[in-house]
């Protein structure tokens, strides 16, 4: 039988790891993008699990939509990154401080 | 007719003040003098009707204030005390008006002066005729205001401004006491009408205020507050410092303030409230002690003053002390008798001093006069009459009232007063008799009899005053000679029914008759002291001892003389330990620290400084670094969750921890 807590734990731990990946990362923006992808993954994982658990199709539909959104988001993000690199010749996060409050 | 007495001065004041431009110098003087003079004639009639024929008038014009149980009428009460005061005020005032026509002849603001004198008279009349305390307070404040305007008459002079402000402010301290007294009266009696208060006083003898955890005897408290008012107005010790400084006004003003009107208001209040004071022995004791101390203090200070007017001012202060302590002995009629007599000879002294000052071109220092007897024989004889009367020379006016007050202090079997206080007042009073005669004759000698210290141009210009100034002086001199003798039996004669119900002396306090059976030696004592004073003053001034005394006693060698000349440094003490600290407190603490400091800082200024500062600090959070944004993002989401989790716990103990957490985060 599917263990409820195991599956929930997996998705939550995955989410937390990705949050920490964004949070602790000081340098590399690619890692941040990857963490973001992982966040999407954990969320869609959670949705799929809950649709199975609750015997409801809507969660899976949502996860498919999220997959689409994540793909487009990462492509746009990478495009922005490429443009940024073309202008600044670097993608180091620490140097992205031109906009101050 | 009775209201005409009151309103004639008001009309005169308004017309000579507002229409002075058209009346002119002589017109305004004559008009206002005539107004007061007719008022005087009518108050003579009032005196005849009320005092001698025994009717009593109580006129109510209408309601002034009505709110709940408080009802204040425009009421005018003419009883024996009032008509005596009316005579005093209007007679002295009309003579002062007559005098100032000539005295202020060359002053460009004479219509204004006349209007002020007249409004002063009006307010004083309002004070004495009022039938309730609130209307009396109107007159009381009006007199203070008029004294301010009059002392400050030459408003371009700095000392005049300062003295006027001093007079007004010190009087205001007393007025504050009087206000409290009126409020306490209303609290106790539910009314401010004299008729109600005095009728209910015996019944409410046991009424007490519960204040600060203890009971205060109601009537004693009321009397104390009223007496504080009298201290201010009648220049008793403690609040007396305004009186000598009030000499900055023109001399007729001093005569009016010191002789008949302003300073007598406090004594009048004490006499009027005799029906109240009688029920509080403690207050009688305070009156006795403070009055005798004032008499002694002012008499002693008068000795070493060198200003002609200040000597007379201190003698006023001293005589007021006599009046107050005779009130303390429950002899209110004697006090009023002395007030009346004092009005005559003090007005005479002041106006003669004005005549002298007029003659020597506004020189007021006695040390720079002398030998004026050959230049001003009439003024000399008038002033001598005034001084003898003031010193209580037998068979002059002052003798009948002042010596009688001193005899009253020698009765030793007062039930309600401590023996110690009686003997204290006796000794202080007797010693001040000596002082009185000493400084009166010192004044006479220094001004009229000693060798001249005038400069030659002054001597050439010395002249006797014109007849218009000497006429009121002569009338006052006649009053100072004969008034005491003529009215003694009426005012303080044994068993006189002149006062009827207006003065109450409890039988247990009444030792009036005992004074007639004193030992003959004690009756002689004041006279002997007077003679000693005259004798010492003569010896010092006639013989060459004078020069010795100039250097030994008047000089800086004698610390005591220096101290007395500087008025016991009371002014200095007040300035240094009361007024400057108060001003400093006002500037540094309440103005700088509180108004412009704390309130500004926590109010508008603080907000206008706080918001930009903190907005700057908060906007610094947006460092531009992506990692920081992510950090705040996640922290914010965490807080959102925290709030959602703790939503139900927000209003219990966790709130504190949470709020401290939030505040800490805010500061980071």
Given an 8 Å threshold on Cβ–Cβ distance, is A23 in contact with B634?
yes
pLDDT number for residue B554: 57
Do both B584 and B639 map to the same domain? no
- What tens digit of pLDDT does each residue of B376-389 get? 889 999 999 999 99
Asked if B173 and B223 sit in the same domain, the reply is yes
pLDDT of residue B462: 85
Q: Burial of B94 by CB count in 10 Å (0-12 exposed, 13-18 middle, 19+ buried)?
A: buried
Residue B113 falls within a domain, yes or no? no
Among A19, A26, A99, the residue with its CB nearest the CB of B627 is A26
Residues from chain B that touch A22, judged by Cβ atoms under 8 A, are 630, 634
Please state whether beta strands B214-217 and B208-211 pair in parallel, antiparallel, or not at all (unpaired). antiparallel
In a domain, A21, yes or no: no
Has residue B545 got a pLDDT over 70? no
Could you report the per-residue pLDDT of B194-215, keeping only the tens digit for each? 989 988 888 887 777 777 777 7
Which has the minimum average pLDDT: B7-16, B134-143, B347-356, B455-464? B455-464
pLDDT band at B660 (very low <50, low <70, confident <90, very high): low
pLDDT at residue B653 in the model: 52
Residue reference for tokens 């030992």: B519
The pLDDT of residue B139 is 93
Residue B92, pLDDT score: 93
Measured between alpha carbons, how far is B7 from B15 in angstroms, rounded to an integer? Answer: 12
CA angle B556, B459, B555 (to 5 degrees): 5
pLDDT at B413 over 70: no
At B547, the pLDDT band (50, 70, 90 cuts) reads low
Between residues 49 and 88 of chain A, which touch chain B (CB distance below 8 Å)? none
* Number of Cβ atoms within 10 Å of the Cβ of B199: 13
Both B440 and B416 in one domain: the answer is: yes
Task: Count Cβ–Cβ pairs < 8 Å, chain A vs chain B.
Answer: 33
The answer to the question of residue A62 being in a domain is yes
Region for residue B227 given its phi and psi (left: phi exceeds 0; alpha: psi -120 to 50; beta: otherwise):
alpha
Cβ within 8 Å, pair B630-A22: yes
B629 touching A, CB under 8 A? no
Residue A69 has a pLDDT of 93
B634 touching chain A per CB within 8 A: yes
Please tell me the pTM assigned to this model: 0.82
The dihedral of CA B139, B144, B150, B153: what is its sign? Answer: negative
- Asked whether residue B646 is assigned to any structural domain, the reply reads yes
Structure confidence at residue B655 (pLDDT): 57
CB contacts, 8 Å: A26 with chain B: 627
How far is residue B56's CA from residue B50's CA, in Å, rounded to a whole number? 6
| Domain-located, residue B386 | yes
Provide the pLDDT for residue B270: 92
Place B543 in a pLDDT band, splitting at 50, 70 and 90: confident
Residues of B in contact with A101 (CB under 8 A): 619-624
User: Is position B149 within any domain?
Assistant: no
Touching check for B156 and chain A: CB below 8 Å? no
Which residue, among B213, B215, B190, has the nearest Cα to B203 in the 3D structure? B190
Same structural domain, B534 and B650: no
Residues B595 and B648 in one domain: no
The pLDDT score that the predictor gives to residue B158 is 92
Over residues B40-92, the pLDDT tens digits come to: 999 999 999 988 888 888 899 889 988 888 889 999 999 889 999 999 999 99
Has residue A67 got a pLDDT over 70? yes
Write out pLDDT tens, residues B151-204. Answer: 999 999 899 999 999 999 999 999 999 999 999 999 888 889 998 998 888 888
Shared domain for B582 and B544, answered yes or no, is no
Query: Which residues of chain B are within 8 Å of residue A99 when distances are taken between CB atoms?
Result: 622, 624
Instruction: Answer whether B320's CB lies under 8 Å from B304's CB.
Output: no
Model confidence at B278, pLDDT cuts 50, 70, 90, reads confident
Task: Provide the mean pLDDT of chain B.
Answer: 85
Q: Is A26 on the interface with B (CB under 8 A)?
A: yes
3-class SS letters over B87-122: HHHHHHHHHHHHHHHHHCCCCCCHHHHHHHHHHHHH
Given a cut of 80, is residue A83 above it in pLDDT? yes
| Distance to chain B for A1, nearest Cα, Å | 31
Residue B208: strand pairing partners: B217
Ranges of H-type helices in A1-101: 4-24, 29-54, 58-88
> Which residue range forms the structural domain that includes residue A42?
26-88
Closest CA to B426 of B439, B437, B414, B444: B414
What pLDDT score does B144 carry? 92
pLDDT band, very low/low/confident/very high, at A8 (cuts 50, 70, 90): confident
User: What number is the ipTM of this complex?
Assistant: 0.80
Segment A22-31 long-range contacts (CB within 8 Å, at least 24 positions apart): A22/B630, A22/B634, A23/B630, A23/B631, A23/B634, A25/A93, A25/B627, A26/A93, A26/A94, A26/B627, A27/A92, A27/A93, A27/A94, A28/A91, A28/A92, A28/A93, A29/A81, A29/A91, A29/A92, A29/A93, A29/A96, A29/B626, A30/A81, A30/A91
Q: Hey, what's the torsion of the CAs at B122, B127, B130, B136, to 10 degrees? A: 130
Q: Does B643 score more than 60 pLDDT?
A: yes
> B209-213, B300-304, B554-558: which has the minimum mean pLDDT?
B554-558
Contact B624 A26 (CB under 8 A): no
Question: Does residue B597 or residue A37 have the better pLDDT?
Answer: A37
Name which of A15, A18, A20, A23 to mutate to probe chain B: the one with the most chain B Cβ atoms within 10 A of its Cβ.
A23
| Interchain proximity B627–A97, CB inside 8 Å | no
Report if residue A64 sits inside a domain: yes
| Containing structural domain, residue B646 | 622-667
Count of structural domains, chain A: 1
Please determine, for residue B557, whether its predicted confidence score (pLDDT) is greater than 60. no
Among B622, B626, B628, the residue to mutate for chain A (most A Cβ within 10 A): B626
| Chain A nearest CA to B639, separation (Å) | 15
Q: Is the pLDDT of residue B627 over 90?
A: no
- Give the helix ranges, DSSP H, for B234-369: 242-245, 251-255, 262-272, 274-277, 281-303, 308-328, 332-359
Mean pLDDT in residue range B502-517: 78
In a domain, A19, yes or no: no
Q: Do B624 and A100 touch (CB under 8 A)?
A: yes
pLDDT reading at B477 higher than 90: yes
Give yes or no for a contact between B424 and B289, defined as CB atoms under 8 angstroms apart: yes
B538 and B588 fall within a common domain: no
Query: Over chain A, what is the mean pLDDT?
Result: 86
Q: What is the pLDDT of residue B574?
A: 85
Q: What is the pLDDT of residue B122?
A: 94
Q: Is A11 exposed, middle or buried (0-12, 13-18, 19+ CB in 10 A)?
A: buried
A94 in any annotated domain? no
Q: Are residues B270 and B332 in the same domain?
A: yes
Domain membership flag for residue A48: yes
* Residue A7 CB neighbour total at 10 angstroms: 17
Say which of A19, A94, A96 has its CB closest to residue B634: A19
Domain check: are B343 and B314 in the same one?
yes
Let me know if residue B98 belongs to a domain: no
From chain B, pick out residues whose CB is under 8 angstroms from the CB of A25.
627
Tell which residue, B51, B19, B42, B45, has the closest CA to residue B32: B19
Residue A48 at interface with chain B, using a CB cutoff of 8 Å: no
CB contact under 8 A, A101 and B621: yes
Which residues 404-443 in chain B show a CB within 8 A of chain A? none
Of A29, A93, A101, nearest to B620 by CB-CB distance is A101
Given a cut of 80, is residue B485 above it in pLDDT?
Answer: yes
pLDDT attached to residue B667: 58
Q: Is residue B292 a part of any domain in this protein?
A: yes
Q: Rounded mean pLDDT of B295-300?
A: 90
Whether the pLDDT of residue B150 is over 60: the answer is yes
B601 interfaces chain A, CB cutoff of 8 Å: no
B614 contacts chain A (CB < 8 A): no
Among B616, B619, B623, B625, most A C-beta atoms within 10 A, so best to mutate, is B625
Q: If you average pLDDT over residues B230-236, what whole number do you get? A: 90
Instruction: Answer yes or no: do A23 and B622 touch at CB < 8 A.
Output: no
Q: Is A30 a domain residue? A: yes
Cβ-Cβ contacts under 8 Å, B636 against chain A: none
CB–CB of A7/A71 below 8 Å?
A: no
Decide: B379 and B503 in contact? Cβ < 8 Å: no
Q: Which of B94, B388, B423, B103 is nearest to B251 (CA)?
A: B103
B588 and B653 inside one domain:
no
Reported confidence tier of residue B243, pLDDT bands at 50, 70, 90: confident
Read off the pLDDT band of B363 (50, 70, 90): confident
Overall number of domains in chain B: 3
pLDDT in tens, B428-476: 888 899 999 999 998 998 888 888 888 888 888 888 888 888 999 999 9
- Residue A22 to residue B619, Cβ atoms within 8 A: no
| Same domain (yes/no): B648, B545 | no
Residue B261 confidence (pLDDT) above 80: yes
Instruction: Specify if A78 maps to a domain.
Output: yes
Q: Cα-atom radius of gyration of chain B, to the nearest Å?
A: 32
CB contact under 8 A, B631 and A23: yes
Q: Residue B650 is inside which H or E element, if any?
A: none
In a domain, B89, yes or no: no
Q: Which of A25, A29, A99 sits opposite B624 (nearest CB)?
A: A99
Residues composing chain B: 668
Check if A17 contacts B (Cβ < 8 Å): no
Which of B84, B54, B94, B93 is CA-nearest to residue B401?
B84
In a domain, B32, yes or no: no
Shared domain for B349 and B321, answered yes or no, is yes
Euclidean distance between CA atoms B526 and B427, whole angstroms? 11
């Amino acid at each position: 039988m599917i263990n409820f807590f195991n599956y929930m734990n997996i998705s939550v731990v995955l989410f937390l790891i990705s949050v920490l990946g964004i949070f602790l990362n000081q340098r590399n923006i690619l890692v941040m993008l990857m963490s973001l992808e992982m966040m999407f993954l954990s969320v869609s994982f959670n949705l799929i699990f809950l649709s199975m658990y609750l015997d409801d199709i809507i969660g899976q539909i949502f996860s498919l939509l999220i997959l689409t959104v994540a793909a487009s988001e990462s492509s746009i993000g990478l495009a922005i990154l490429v443009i940024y690199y073309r202008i600044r010749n670097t993608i180091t996060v620490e140097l992205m401080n031109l906009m101050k409050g | 007719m009775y209201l005409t007495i009151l309103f004639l001065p008001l009309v005169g004041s308004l017309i000579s003040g507002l229409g002075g431009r058209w009346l002119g110098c002589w017109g305004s003087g004559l008009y206002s003098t005539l107004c007061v003079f007719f008022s005087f004639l009518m108050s003579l009639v009032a005196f005849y009707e009320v005092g001698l024929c025994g009717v009593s008038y109580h006129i109510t014009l209408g309601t002034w204030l009505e709110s709940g149980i408080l009802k204040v009428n425009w009421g005018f009460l003419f009883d024996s005390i009032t008509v005596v005061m009316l005579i005093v005020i209007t007679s002295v005032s009309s003579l002062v008006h007559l005098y100032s026509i000539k005295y202020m002849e060359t002053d460009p603001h004479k219509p204004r002066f006349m209007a002020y004198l007249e409004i002063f008279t009006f307010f004083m009349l309002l004070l004495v005729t009022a039938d309730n305390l609130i209307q009396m307070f109107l007159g009381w404040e009006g007199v203070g205001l008029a004294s301010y305007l009059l002392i400050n008459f030459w408003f371009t002079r700095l000392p005049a401004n300062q003295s006027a402000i001093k007079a007004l402010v010190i009087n205001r301290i007393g007025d504050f006491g009087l206000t409290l007294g009126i409020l306490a009266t209303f609290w106790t009696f539910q009314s401010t009408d004299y008729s109600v208060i005095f009728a209910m006083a015996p019944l409410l003898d046991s009424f007490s205020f519960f204040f600060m955890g203890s009971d205060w005897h109601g009537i004693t408290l009321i009397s104390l507050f009223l007496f504080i008012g009298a201290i201010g107005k009648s220049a008793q010790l403690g609040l007396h410092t305004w009186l000598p400084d009030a000499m900055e006004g023109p001399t007729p003003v001093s005569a009016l303030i010191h002789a008949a009107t302003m300073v007598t208001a406090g004594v009048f209040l004490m006499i009027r409230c005799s029906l109240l004071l009688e029920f509080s022995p403690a207050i009688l004791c305070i009156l006795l002690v403070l009055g005798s101390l004032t008499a002694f203090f002012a008499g002693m200070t008068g000795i070493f003053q060198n200003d002609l007017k200040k000597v007379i001012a201190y003698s006023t202060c001293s005589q007021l002390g006599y009046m107050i302590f005779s009130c303390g002995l429950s002899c209110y009629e004697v006090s009023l008798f002395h007030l009346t007599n004092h009005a005559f000879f003090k007005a005479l002294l002041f106006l003669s001093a004005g005549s002298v000052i007029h003659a020597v071109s506004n020189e007021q220092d006695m040390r720079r006069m002398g030998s004026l007897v050959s230049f001003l024989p009439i003024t000399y004889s008038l002033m001598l009459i005034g001084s003898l009367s003031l010193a209580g020379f037998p068979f002059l006016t002052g003798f009948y009232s002042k010596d009688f007050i001193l005899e009253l202090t020698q009765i030793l079997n007062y039930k309600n007063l401590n023996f110690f206080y009686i003997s204290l007042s006796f000794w202080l009073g007797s010693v001040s008799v000596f002082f009185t005669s000493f400084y009166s004759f010192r004044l006479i000698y220094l001004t009229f009899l000693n060798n001249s210290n005038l400069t030659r141009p002054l001597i050439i210009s010395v002249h006797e005053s014109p007849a218009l100034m000497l006429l009121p002086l002569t009338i006052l001199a006649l009053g100072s000679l004969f008034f005491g003798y003529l009215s003694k039996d009426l005012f303080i004669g044994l068993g006189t029914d002149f006062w009827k119900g207006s003065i109450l002396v409890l039988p247990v306090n009444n030792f009036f008759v005992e004074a007639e059976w004193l030992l003959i030696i004690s009756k002689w004592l004041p006279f002997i002291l007077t003679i000693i004073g005259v004798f010492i003053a003569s010896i010092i001034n006639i013989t060459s001892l004078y020069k010795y005394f100039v250097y030994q006693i008047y000089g800086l060698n004698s610390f005591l003389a220096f101290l007395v000349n500087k008025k016991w440094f009371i002014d200095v003490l007040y300035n240094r330990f009361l007024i400057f600290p108060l001003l400093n407190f006002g500037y540094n603490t309440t103005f700088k620290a509180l108004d412009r400091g704390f309130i500004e800082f926590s109010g508008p200024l603080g907000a206008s400084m706080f918001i930009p500062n903190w907005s700057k600090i908060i906007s610094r959070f947006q460092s531009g670094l992506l990692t920081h944004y992510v950090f705040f993002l996640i922290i914010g989401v965490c807080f959102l969750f925290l709030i959602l989790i703790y939503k139900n716990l927000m209003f219990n103990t966790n709130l504190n921890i949470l709020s401290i957490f939030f505040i800490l985060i805010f500061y980071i």
